[in-house]
Chains A and B, each alone.
Chain A
Amino acid sequence: MRFGVVVFPGSNCDADCYHAIGAATGARVEYVWHRDTKISGFDCLVLPGGFSYGDYLRTGAIARFSPVMREIARFAADGGLVLGICNGFQILQEAGLLPGAMRKNESLTFRCQWTWVRVEDNRTPFTLLCEKGQVLRIPIAHYEGNFYLPPEELAEVEGRGQVVMRYSTPAGEVVPEANPNGSLGNTAAVRNAAGNVLGMMPHPERAAEGVLGCEDGRLIFRSVVEYLRGSGR
């Protein structure tokens, strides 16, 4: 079982992901360089957080044209698992692999804080070890995480159950006070229609060890392993 962590110029959570995935799952983890045009043998590709290409123009707008992105699109089209975290989520949106776009936070401030997210769908490869409705405590760290979709498209995405996590209170209430950035529908994580690509703004790799104050993030990586085992890999 092999995870790949994609490294763009400006990625800064790549080493954290590399460490956390290995520690949480015992699986093999390798870095994938943004220039790579040939990637093979991976079971799950992770696009980590950071400020790819300085986030110039828009977050993820330049990284989306990295050579490796063509391979990632192909990998995803073949059903490969792709997880985008924070900036990785933004890159996948820019690439059209996930719906929506991120506006600046409503507060116009960089939000670096613990958040609680309620798991709306535990049948995805990334959440199958969670209970439906389980509240995870995972931190966010971003300036552009204010999820937006035009109303009609949002209705379609909601209708297909693609919102996988929502910001909530610790008790699991999805209310405006629990929304750290203004995201429509308190959206914290979204999957593609097929379910094999997930983007989440909270950083599971920052909540994957007791010493960091919380281990909830391990559930995401372990779910992937569980899913891959179940699918015979």
Chain B
Amino acid sequence: MKKLIINNKESRYPIIQGGMGIGISLSKLSIAAIKAGIVGTISAAQPGFLYANFRSDALGNNLKALAKEIKAVRKECPSGILGVNCMYAGTNYDKYIEFLAKQDIDFIVSGAGLPVDLPKYLVGSKVKPAVIVSSAKAAKIICKKWMRTYKVLPEFIVVEGPLAGGHLGFSKEDMMSGNYKDLETLTEEVLIEVKKFEDEFKTSIPVIPAGGINSGREIAKFMKIGSSAVQIATRFIATTECDASDEYKLMIVNAKEEDIVLVPSPVGLPGRAIRNTFTKALKVGNFKPRFCVDCLRVCAKKDIPYCITEKLGNASGGDAENGLVFSGAKAYLIDKMATVKEVVDELVVDYLYGLRESK
């Protein structure tokens, strides 16, 4: 089986458990992921949401929470591959990265914008920079920019396609009109661009598709075209170890295909979520934010449909009907709770069958 190597460590299976905010992928999920033989990712999106004085000091509480979550993983899994997903569009991005550079993690992966200066904060750190893109053009620009300015290439590149959960890297118009490429095409295009940098600099950059991958057969399909691994996130929500509330997990388990919808968001891009009382009410009017922790640089803050931190945090905390339940497009295929190990084992067995069939 093809091995995934990140920060000179080898993952048993070529799967990354994707980062999910707010409070969906923290230490419990990452520990279970690493123990099951895959790569764990903690989400840096407001991990301190449930802390006492979060609203008056979001940054301080989030950093405290990140340190605590990372420490919890390292206590159980001192040598597993662990990373943190930190959105580039977040306020205080520089402060989060400077802090994370000193933590016992293997990588920081940034999407939600083009993290042109991520390596700047990692000089002298053992933490490796990685990126999430939604086009070959973005992959090319990041490789070129990082190599030119920082003499470094991405540790890996996640290609996030149109079936992912949460914010999508495609406009509402394109999503509605079908004017977007599928993940397989995007991955092939990114592989072509990345190959040029691999050849020129005699290195390898794992390309890792994500978004809507839900079975081992799918993993086999993406490995066959040259991917080094896949990233899977939603599939791990309906697990006993996932850090989200049981209410959130049940929304995923009970979702039917027609329950998975695109919703507007304060940043303008469409987001994919599960239909509930909140998304239905969104069609009628806006929700006045109850507080603002200035979470995203790109949020207009005025005349927004709702506050994304408030609604995601509430859903993750337990009010899944009145909060925002982000989810990938294939969540309707999940119909039961399981342990992370059961999910990974099922994926791997199915992947191996998939590989055999294609021979």
* Chains A and B come from one and the same complex: no
By a beta-carbon cutoff of 8 Å, the part of chain A in contact with chain B is: none
By a beta-carbon cutoff of 8 Å, the part of chain B in contact with chain A is: none
